[in-house]
Structure 1
Amino acid sequence: MKIQIINGPNLNLLGVREKSIYGDSSFETYFATLKELFVGHELYYFQSNKEGEIIDKLHEVGFEFDGVVLNAGAYTHTSIAIADAIAAINTPVIEVHISNVHKREEFRHKSMLAASCRGVIAGFGMDSYRLALENIVAG
């Protein structure tokens, strides 16, 4: 299976920013662990702070890949354009969040993306990505 992981704005700072919320590991370090756990599957990683680049990546992989794991960061709560891109592609998308967004600020409680996604996983730290990958692999 070919699976694309996409991280949105500020997630390039994992391991550095707000460690009490996001932990002290970079995503690149965790991605190496995921590749070891999902041997036999092609995992790809992309990160951008720019909404249009995230949309372009969804368009690029959205008709050929078997799944997308998307942590759109703050765009989750604001981007109708990303929601439209998810709805427009054939590849199933799972929305993930490292923190439990429902235990945070009120504006984080609403996802603009969730209705277009196969499901949402939040609050399990970096393990949210593994849970999403397991769901995609299981079909």
Structure 2
Amino acid sequence: MTIYILNGPNLNLLGQRQPEIYGHETLADVEARCETEARDLGLEIRFLQSNHEGQLVDWIHEARMAAQGIIINAGAYTHTSVAILDALKAFDGPVIELHISNVHARESFRHHSYISARADGVMAGFGTQGYELALQRLHRLLAA
């Protein structure tokens, strides 16, 4: 089983941008931990990042034929992108929405998520550990 892990804008700066909110781990660190977790669960992952909305939409479309589940940390696109929501609605497998920080304890504009309308679950505020927790949850959903 393959899981797409999609990361949106500015996540390429993880570990450098606002470490007081997002921590000191890099996206490469997170990817390495996800690879280990996926292997332990018997999953394969495709770990991707883009600052471009259309690229994220294209990967979601690709996942329709190549993946059984999606974990998406869409960054700021969470709060603005109907295009990403529409793409996710065309995906038949489970979707986990992921946020490193607790978006509900931050600015009010972060409290609304378009992605939540399609997500089977939301992880927020668990730091980068949320990626591993999301993989565990997807594994369980797919095994059911």
Q: TM range, normalised to the smaller chain?
A: over 0.9
Counterpart for residue 43 of structure 1: 45
Per the normalisation by structure 2, the TM-score is: 0.93
Aligned length: 139
CA distance in 2, matches of 1:134, 1:102: 23
CA distance in 2, matches of 1:32, 1:109: 30
Q: Which runs of structure 1 show a deviation greater than 3 angstroms over 4 or more consecutive aligned residues?
A: none
Q: CA deviation at 1:111?
A: 0.3
Q: SS at 1:62's partner residue?
A: helix
Counterpart for residue 101 of structure 1: 103
CA distance in 1, matches of 2:66, 2:59: 12
Deviations 1:31-75 (A, max 9, x none): 112211221321111100000000000000123311110000000
CA distance in 2, matches of 1:76, 1:90: 19
Q: SS at 2:130's partner residue?
A: helix
CA distance in 2, matches of 1:131, 1:31: 13
- How is 1:3-22 mapped onto 2 (pairs within 5 angstroms)? 3-22=3-22
Greater per-residue helix proportion: 2
Q: CA deviation at 1:90?
A: 1.2
Per the normalisation by structure 1, the TM-score is: 0.96
Percent identity over paired residues: 50
Q: Answer yes or no: is 1:129 the counterpart of 2:131.
A: yes
Segments of structure 2 that go 5 or more residues without pairing to the other structure are: none
CA RMSD of aligned residues (A): 0.9
